[in-house]
Amino acid sequence: MLLKKISITILLMGAYCVHAQNPIIQTSFTADPAPMVHDGTLYLYTTNDEDETVDNFFTMYNWRCYSTTDMVNWTDHGVVASLKDFEWSDITNGAWAPQCIERKGKFYLYCPIHGDGVAVLVSDSPTGPFTDPLGHRLIEGTNNVWHDIDPTVFIDDDGQAYLFWGNPGLYYVKLNEDMISYDRSIGNNGIMAVEMTTEAFGSHEGRDGRMRTTYTEGPWVYKRNDLYYLVYAAAGIPEYIAYSTAPAIEGPWTYQGFIMERAPHLAFTNHPGIIDYKGNSYFFYHSHELSGGEGFKRSVCVEQFEYNPDGSIPLMIPTKHGVAESVSNLNPYNRVEAETIAWSEGLKTKKDDETGIYVTNINNDDYLIVRSVDFNNGAKVFEASVASDSDGREIEIRLNNPDGELIGHLTVGNTGGSKSWEMKSCELKKVTGVHDVCFVFKGQEGNLFNFDWWRFQ
Ligand code: FUB
């Protein structure tokens, strides 16, 4: 009996390691998740905590984007916007929590510049390039640029768009149809301040002993079944996630309580993003686990959940395994970008004009896993686009995990340089059905090679 128990525990531990899915991005530090579904794909906009923290504070210059069609494999689109896109702003560090929305084929990315208010960028594609349509900030207004962070945008059924934001106050404007200006005939030159009552946002005792509402920052506004939801970081610092609901977007809001409590591996900030995709509901947040507990180096995580029958949101437990099941399989017979990753160890991604995004910083024994790969009736050949400046490097192709069954190995060889891309191929043990696939990188020293895309035949 005891033996059975021990082997079950070992089995579970094995499964746990293999399917570790949170945080969902391991190649950069990402925070402040903002999911958006467009044309069957879920795009995830994030902030980007730099690898090197300056002056023990948030060090954030860029906004990044990732996408998925299965909720387990995430394709890295790199930096899609940066503080440099706002020529009028002198701020060089402060690319805080954004949100993107589509309207009439244009994508509007609302970007808070910490210390310089909320700005907007526009693009014809969800992954950019984004440009600044205004040449000045969008929100002119609360006379306190610290308040003007964390925009969340929402288009109601009647077509009226709203932009909410703020820490520790909560404000909103009614955006005009162009999405880059707002109705200035209401409130304070267009800006409405939400009444911060305890009925609306609950109450808690701050660190200074004063009572206040739990609302802190990071609002996320949406509507479901005629009920308006406002989810936010609460009772900071450390922050929990709480939410309020209302019968109308203007309120009155009613406090509904915490939905993610503090946990040791969560950072001192947290930030919600909620979305439905392919019939499931997902809750995005961030933790500091990947950096080993550094609050200025956070990483986005996701949990699947179900609303309670009365529409309330259940308590979210931050897990290691995250999303257990993919919502669709990956077709390995189409070109797959190497930066499509379910889990990786040791890798980074880079972007250049010629190649786009590729996987780099590859050292001996680093690996990447792609999940739910559907080989169907069988793959016999593996092809990959790689660039290397020496011989003696290879990719082991294994099933499931770095120690899984070896089905082939690709000799990378010297292609003439780390930007000289060549398509290499190797034969495989025949593999059929659906598997997770693990590419394990082998070679003697340093940065072994770069990896752009792969495909099975
Ligand atoms: O990431 C910088 C700030 O930390 C965000 O704007 C807040 O929501 C908090 O996550």
CATH of the domain at 83: 2.115.10.20
Domain that holds residue 89: 23-305
Q: How far apart are CA 93 and CA 82, in angstroms?
A: 10
For the chain, the domain total comes to: 2
Mean residue pLDDT of the chain comes to 93
- pLDDT for the residue numbered 264: 87
pLDDT, one tens digit per residue, over 154-173 is 999 999 999 999 999 999 99
Nearest residue to 201 via CA among 141, 261, 251, 263: 251
Assess whether the C-beta atom of 266 lies below 6 angstroms from ligand 1.
no
Q: How far apart are CA 147 and CA 167, in angstroms?
A: 5
∠ Cα 89 183 213 (to 5°): 75
Residue 242 contacts residue 253 (beta carbons within 8 Å): no
Assess whether the C-beta atom of 149 lies below 6 angstroms from ligand 1.
yes
Radius of gyration of the chain (CA): 23
Assess whether the C-beta atom of 165 lies below 6 angstroms from ligand 1.
no
- pLDDT for the residue numbered 236: 84
Q: How far is the CA of 29 from the centre of ligand 1 (A)?
A: 13
- Say if residue 286 is in the same domain as residue 389: no
Q: How far is the CA of 221 from the centre of ligand 1 (A)?
A: 16
- Say if residue 104 is in the same domain as residue 230: yes
- Say if residue 46 is in the same domain as residue 131: yes
User: Which residue has 């206040």 as its token pair?
Assistant: 212
Q: How far is the CA of 387 from the centre of ligand 1 (A)?
A: 37
- Say if residue 238 is in the same domain as residue 342: no
Question: Given CA atoms 392, 397, 401, 403 in this order, what sign does their dihedral have?
Answer: negative
Which of helix, strand or coil describes residue 359?
strand
- pLDDT for the residue numbered 366: 97
Q: Which helix (H) or strand (E) holds 193?
A: strand 192-193
Q: Which helix (H) or strand (E) holds 421?
A: none
- Say if residue 288 is in the same domain as residue 356: no
Burial of 147 (0-12, 13-18, 19+ CB in 10 A): buried
Which residue has a Cα nearest atom 8 of ligand 1? 218
pLDDT, one tens digit per residue, over 250-261 is 999 999 999 999
How much of the chain exceeds pLDDT 70, in percent?
A: 95
Q: How far is the CA of 454 from the centre of ligand 1 (A)?
A: 36
The reply to whether 177 belongs to the active site is: no
User: Which residue has 């990753």 as its token pair?
Assistant: 341
Q: Which helix (H) or strand (E) holds 357?
A: strand 356-360
Assess whether the C-beta atom of 450 lies below 6 angstroms from ligand 1.
no
Assess whether the C-beta atom of 99 lies below 6 angstroms from ligand 1.
no
Residue 415 contacts residue 364 (beta carbons within 8 Å): no
- Residue 16 counted as domain residue: no
* Domain final residue, candidates 284, 305, 326: 305
* Domain final residue, candidates 249, 284, 305: 305
Assess whether the C-beta atom of 271 lies below 6 angstroms from ligand 1.
yes
**pTM of the prediction?**
0.95
Atom of ligand 1 nearest to the CA of 58: 2
pLDDT, mean of residues 342-352: 97
- Say if residue 341 is in the same domain as residue 211: no
- Say if residue 146 is in the same domain as residue 242: yes
Nearest residue to 294 via CA among 312, 316, 268, 273: 268
- Say if residue 127 is in the same domain as residue 202: yes
Q: How far apart are CA 411 and CA 398, in angstroms?
A: 15
Tokens for 265, please give them.
């591996």
pLDDT at 142 over 80: no
pLDDT, mean of residues 300-306: 98
Atom of ligand 1 nearest to the CA of 218: 8
- pLDDT for the residue numbered 10: 32
Assess whether the C-beta atom of 296 lies below 6 angstroms from ligand 1.
no
Q: How far is the CA of 97 from the centre of ligand 1 (A)?
A: 6
Q: How many CB atoms lie within 10 A of CB 124?
A: 11
Q: How far apart are CA 333 and CA 421, in angstroms?
A: 20
Which of 147, 150, 288 for a ligand 1 pocket mutation test, highest count of atoms within 8 Å of Cβ? Answer: 150
Burial of 331 (0-12, 13-18, 19+ CB in 10 A): middle
- pLDDT for the residue numbered 144: 64
pLDDT, mean of residues 214-218: 97
- Say if residue 290 is in the same domain as residue 385: no
- Say if residue 273 is in the same domain as residue 178: yes
Assess whether the C-beta atom of 116 lies below 6 angstroms from ligand 1.
no
- Say if residue 185 is in the same domain as residue 297: yes
Atom of ligand 1 nearest to the CA of 298: 1
pLDDT, mean of residues 290-307: 97
Q: Could you tell me how many helices (H) and strands (E) the chain has, helices first? A: 2, 32
- Say if residue 270 is in the same domain as residue 392: no
Q: What is the CATH number of the domain that holds 383?
A: 2.60.120.260
Atom of ligand 1 nearest to the CA of 149: 6
Residue 318 preceded by cis peptide, ω within 30: no
Assess whether the C-beta atom of 32 lies below 6 angstroms from ligand 1.
yes
Q: Which residue in the list 85, 148, 150, 217 is annotated as catalytic?
A: 217
The reply to whether 366 belongs to the active site is: no
Which of helix, strand or coil describes residue 85?
helix
